[in-house]
Structure 1
């Protein structure tokens, strides 16, 4: 039998382990309960591309917001560093079509791996850069975060059209709807070409709300390791 002192020491140690474990877990976003409150997706205003030596080879760190100039910068970086074997992604997203173009550039470099390392987050347009990899790796603890895209981000344009009257608002809504339909078609084609299940769009992405409302503020979803394999988002054997 254990002495009272030994029992106390065991209980105290167990309590310490529990506290440390709890402290290690990131806080959950109450509005998006599948995701952490503060995903690590880089604060760089534009995506920074940094070649570094890692894992016995060269890796391209791609960190920050996706802008229209990214595809050309990515093409230049890969041409200047032909020995790059992996692209590691950490981004809050950005320009959707630039993300698609960057994904196609990665795919054109045969055998180039994309990876979301543990603790890093790849959101929105970053998803499509990631899908360009062959193979694609999401390390345990890496976050592939999706949402329903919206073409209504320019609030000033919306407010101006409302101020101008009904006809201007109808015209803006028509333009938004047309562009959203084109982008959805482009996304569908992109997934087919990259070997990702189109069910990722219909069962996950397009089921998220584009904008939060008073009743439900959830606008994004963090996929589990089971889901990224089921939809062939990650297609490695690591």
Structure 2
């Protein structure tokens, strides 16, 4: 009997060493309680595309910021590696229109491409639209599809400069931001229709998030979809 007890203890230790024991659930963000406190979206300053083999499947790892040059790099990566069948994503977001364009490239060039957010990875903001380019879309358990209210005010230097220049300059910039935001909203709406995602994702979820923190009890600016919401809005159309 003692020998069997020792064997069981030894197997348990081996599982822990090799990382096969159940992982602890990450701490949640108190201000954004549907999302992890420390999203796993990498520190890459631009999205790195790396083809790898995963158990006999050719996968493109796409990790980092969605930058302006991503669409061209993505098109080349898919062209150079026609045997890629999945794209795995983790990203803190980036350039909104580059995200939309990358999603369209996946749909047009990638054919029956699968996009996936693996367990523990986070796909935020512009990455959402890259992900939606897949014909089959999978969000694994503990993978995070994180959204927010898009904003065209990412260029803080331009905003600060306009404030220094005075009221007229700031009013002009605000007008440009509003115009660009309205245009981007139209583009996002059209994109969702083309990708087969419910437009209610925008009205029910994204547009209800605050772009910046305001006074009051609710300080959330981010929202992570539940598995039920992802399927309801057809963001994910394949179960993990």
1:27 and 1:236 map into 2 onto residues whose CA distance is 27
Computed over aligned residues only, the root mean square deviation of the Cα atoms, in angstroms, reads 1.5
Equivalent residue for 2:132? Answer: 131
- Taking the aligned partners of 1:129 and 1:233, their CA distance within structure 2 comes to 12
- Structure 2, unaligned stretches of length 5 or more? 1-20
Compare 123-132 and 207-216 and name the one that shifted more. Answer: 207-216
The aligned counterpart of 2:37 is 37
Higher alpha-carbon deviation: 185-194 or 24-33: 24-33
Q: Which moved more, 1:37-46 or 1:21-30?
A: 21-30
Task: State the distance in 1 between where 2:118 and 2:86 align.
Answer: 11
Report deviation, 1:155. Answer: 2.1
Report how far residue 42 of structure 1 moved: 1.1
Instruction: Give 3-state SS (helix, strand or coil) of 1:24's partner.
Output: coil
Structure-to-structure mapping, 1:205-220, within 5 angstroms:
205-215=206-216, 216-220=218-222
Structure 1 position 234 matched with structure 2 position 236: yes
Counting only pairs closer than 5 Å after superposition, residues 23-172 of structure 1 correspond to structure 2 as: 24-108=24-108, 109-172=110-173
Q: TM-score, normalised by structure 1?
A: 0.89
Distance change >3 Å, CA 153–CA 237, structure 1 → 2:
closer
Change (3 A) 1:22 1:80: closer
Aligned to 1:182, the other structure's residue is in SS state helix
- Mapped partners of 2:140, 2:52: distance in 1: 19
CA pair 23-237 structure 1, distance change in 2 beyond 3 A: closer
Distance 1:218 1:155 in 2: 21
Residue matched to 2:18: none
TM-superposed deviation, 1:234: 0.5
Q: Which runs of 5+ in 1 are unaligned?
A: 1-20
What residue in structure 1 maps to residue 9 of structure 2?
A: none
Shift of 1:217: 2.3
Instruction: Give the Cα separation in 1 of the matches to 2:122 and 2:156.
Output: 26
The 5 Å alignment of 1:2-13 reads none
**Cα distance in 1 for residues equivalent to 2:239 and 2:172:** 49
| Structure 1 residue 237 displacement after superposition | 4.2
